[in-house]
Structure formats: C-alpha cells, structure tokens
Amino acid sequence: MSNFTSPVSNVLRRELAGYFATPVAWVFIVIFLVMAAAFTFYIGAFYDRGIADLDPFFTFHPWLYLFLVPAMAMRLWAEERRSGTIELLLTLPVTLWQAVLGKFLAAWLFVGLALLLTFPVWLTVNYLGDPDNGVIAAGYIGSWLMAGGFLAIGCCMSAVTRNQVVAFILSVVVCFGFLVSGLPMVMDLFSSWAPQPLLDAIAEFSFLAHFSTISRGVIDLRDLVYFALVMVVWLLANTMVLEMKKAD
C-alpha cells in the first residue's frame, strides 16, 4: 500500500474494531434497525399505501440520522482529547488529514453496514410486489451519501470540544440547519432581506432536496458532487479545528 493509504487504513481498522469492542456498534445497529422499521411500517404506513416501493422507508432516514449520526460522531475526537490518546495518535508518523480521514471512513463504513442490515425491508417489498430495484438501489446510495454529510459535520463538531454532550448538541443543530435549509422555516429568516441569489444558494444547501432527487431514482452528478463537497469541506474544517485546538 502507498505511504498515504496505509496509515489511513490502519486508523480505519483500529476505529472499526473499537466500535465492536464497545457497546457502541451494537446499540447503534439495533436502534437504527428498530427505528427504521418502526417508522416504515407504522408512521410510513408501508402496508396501507399498497405501493411496492421503499419511499416510506427512505423518507425517515434524514430524521433518524439527525440524532443517531451525531450520537455516533460525538465521541470521535472528544474522546481522544479527554483520554489524551490524541497526543499518542498525532505523534505517530500519521498526518492530521490521514487521521481525520481514517476516523471518518471507519464511521461511514459502519453506518453503511447498518444500512445494509436493513435488507429485510428490501426482501419484504420484493416478496409483496414488484418494485423498481434500481430506484431502491439509488435510495440506498443517496441515504449513505447523506449519512456521510451528517457524519462529516459530527466529526468536526466533535473536534471543537472535549465535552461529548456539547459536541452532540452542536452537531444536531448544524445538521438540522443543513437538513431544513430549503424549507420555509429557514427561508423565512432570510427572505425579507437577502438577495435572491443568496436565497437560492441557501436553498441549494438542503440535504433534503438533494436526497429526495437521488431517492426518486435520479442519480444526478450535481447531487453526488454536492454530498462529496459537503464531506470534504467539513473534514477540512475538522482538520483545521484540530490543528488549532489540539492542545486544549
């Protein structure tokens, strides 16, 4: 492996193993699966709709992620700071960016795993009817990309403070802002004074808008680029925050 990827994969493997060595992994997976199912079948009225698709399933993902992803991300850097292992990690011959990327990728893969474990829902809908599996695949990809966006925000907020509760609250708030930025409750704050191009830009930031196009089965390059940019920008911010605050 190259000089860049091998430290990243080393950090990634350690993190992933860490999830499964603590209750974090199991609690996250169980809660995620139970809630996803409950939302789909009860609130989403999966059966009553009589339509063979996973729309009721994917609709609730943004709201599930809003709380579960920050809960998962809050310990990433805050815990390293609290226990002092950050000093160990960052004095190894591993660059800050490699460490940030390794931690993020581990968490993102883990969320991907939780997402894959929802496959019984997919089996159910295929058993009951004849859904468009291309749309469902797109929905999974969109959901995973959106989780990556939430996670990148959570990582950055976790680096801001050594207090995990503060990190959690900050990232829920920021994630919520990104989630609803296209909706009236946010737009009304700006619409009275902001120029139209700014309003359009703010609306463009909405996770919901980008996610809904993908989950309708339209994989538009712009949506992919959007989520990729969100992740890169927040991870760069994460790196800068760490650089500034690692001593505190």
Partner 1 sequence: MSELRIEARQLCKNYGSLVAVDQLSFEVGTGEVLGFLGPNGAGKSTTMKMLTGFLAPSSGTALINGHDIVTDSLAARRCIGYLPEGAPSYGEMTVRAFLEFVARARGFAGKRALNAAGAAIERLNLQGVVEQPIETLSKGFKRRVGLAQSIIHDPQVLILDEPTDGLDPNQKHEVRHLIRDMAEEKIIVISTHLLEEVHAVCNRAMIIADGRLLVDDTPAGLIARSRYHDAVTLVVEQPERVASVLSELPQARKVELREGELTVFPAPGQRLFEVVSDTVRENRWAVAELRLEAGRLDEVFRQITRGEVS
Contact map string, positions 25 to 64, toward partner 1, x by CB under 8 A: ----------------------------------------
Dihedrals φ, ψ of 79, to 5°? -70, -40
* Per CB under 8 A, 213 contacts partner 1: no
Per CB under 8 A, which region of 43-51, 87-95, 139-147, 185-193 contacts partner 1?
87-95
Alpha carbons 92 and 199: distance in angstroms, whole number? 45
Helices (H), the chain: 5-21, 23-38, 46-49, 55-59, 61-73, 75-83, 85-89, 96-116, 119-128, 133-160, 164-180, 184-191, 196-204, 207-215, 221-245
**C-beta contacts of 198-203 below 8 A and 24+ residues apart:** none
| Those residues with Cβ within 8 angstroms of residue 86's Cβ, 6 or more apart along the chain or in another chain | 77, 80, 246
Given 31, 94, 135, 169, the residue binding partner 1 (CB under 8 A) = 94
* Per CB under 8 A, 18 contacts partner 1: yes
Per CB under 8 A, which region of 5-13, 119-127, 155-163, 165-173 contacts partner 1?
5-13
* Per CB under 8 A, 6 contacts partner 1: yes
Contact map string, positions 228 to 247, toward partner 1, x by CB under 8 A: ------------------xx
Q: How far is the CB of 88 from partner 1 (least distance, A)?
A: 6
Alpha carbons 60 and 213: distance in angstroms, whole number? 15
* Per CB under 8 A, 97 contacts partner 1: no
Given 5, 22, 126, 133, the residue binding partner 1 (CB under 8 A) = 22
* Per CB under 8 A, 196 contacts partner 1: no
Please report, as ranges, the residues that interact with partner 1 according to CB under 8 A: 1, 6-7, 10-11, 13-14, 17-18, 21-22, 83-85, 87-88, 90-95, 246-247
